[in-house]
Amino acid sequence: MPDYPVTLSPQQQAGPFIMQPDGLGHLFALDKMADGPFPEHYEPMESPLADNPMNPQQRHSPVVRLFSSDAAQLGEAADYPCVATTYSITELFRHWTKHALLNAIAQPEQFVEIGTELAEEKGIKAGDSVKVSSRRGYIKAKAVVTRRLQRLMIDGKPVDTVGIPCHWGFEGTTRKGFLANTLTPSVGDANSQTPEYKGFLVKVEKA
């Protein structure tokens, strides 16, 4: 559906993007982004890579929001070799539905997902209790061993991903668990201030 009358002739040169002052579509932000105008790839502040493969001269965003106290809590791949990401699951929504009995029956206990290669390397079987640690703290949960999370070769090195659902902690109808954000870094995106909950470093061990 165009943003201008369909009967308008091309000779009238109407800009179709009425939300822009010049009526044109933009593939970059003229003056609204701290790290603009063009999008750039940066590695997360905690990364298994020593360099940014898209720009070796600039590993991290130069305009990221990072306080000195939070910078002191960032981990290195030598100590925390796995990449973790947090997410929601079908049976629960944020921290709300853990108070609902039917949701708690469907998903009663906190878990983390790890790949088969990492599980074999650490001697972890499905249902074992595992400890996942970052520079900032740790959580304990049951292990779900899955082929869904495959070991990746990144810059010639094997890197495992750990999946951490974010629903547990505090009181609820579900069994008590740990706050996933105990692990996550307090690094804010330069524009949205959204924290880097989707990419940070951890280590996994059998609890």
Report d(CA 156, CA 78) in Å as an integer: 15
Q: Would you state the pLDDT for residue 205?
A: 98
The fold of 68-206 is Barwin-like endoglucanases (2.40.40)
Alpha-carbon torsion angle 164, 170, 176, 144, nearest 10: 0
Q: Would you state the pLDDT for residue 142?
A: 98
Helix (H, G, I), strand (E, B) or coil at 183: coil
Q: Would you state the pLDDT for residue 11?
A: 84
Q: What is the pLDDT of residues 96-123, one digit of tens each?
A: 888 889 988 999 999 999 999 999 999 9
Instruction: Tell me: pLDDT of 34 over 60.
Output: yes
Q: Would you state the pLDDT for residue 2?
A: 59
- Average pLDDT in the 84-91 region? 93
For residue 146, give Cα distances in angstroms to 17, 81, 124, 162.
46, 19, 12, 10
Higher-confidence position of 43 and 32? 43
Q: What is the pLDDT of residues 155-177, one digit of tens each?
A: 889 999 999 999 888 778 888 89
Structure-token pair, residue 196? 């880097």
Listed by start position, the domains of the chain span 68-206
Q: What is the DSSP letter of 175?
A: P
Q: What is the pLDDT of residues 39-49, one digit of tens each?
A: 788 999 999 99
Q: Would you state the pLDDT for residue 27?
A: 76
Q: What is the pLDDT of residues 127-160, one digit of tens each?
A: 999 999 999 999 999 999 999 999 999 888 999 9
In total, the chain counts a number of residues equal to 207
Q: What is the pLDDT of residues 62-83, one digit of tens each?
A: 999 999 999 999 999 999 999 9
- Average pLDDT in the 168-190 region? 89
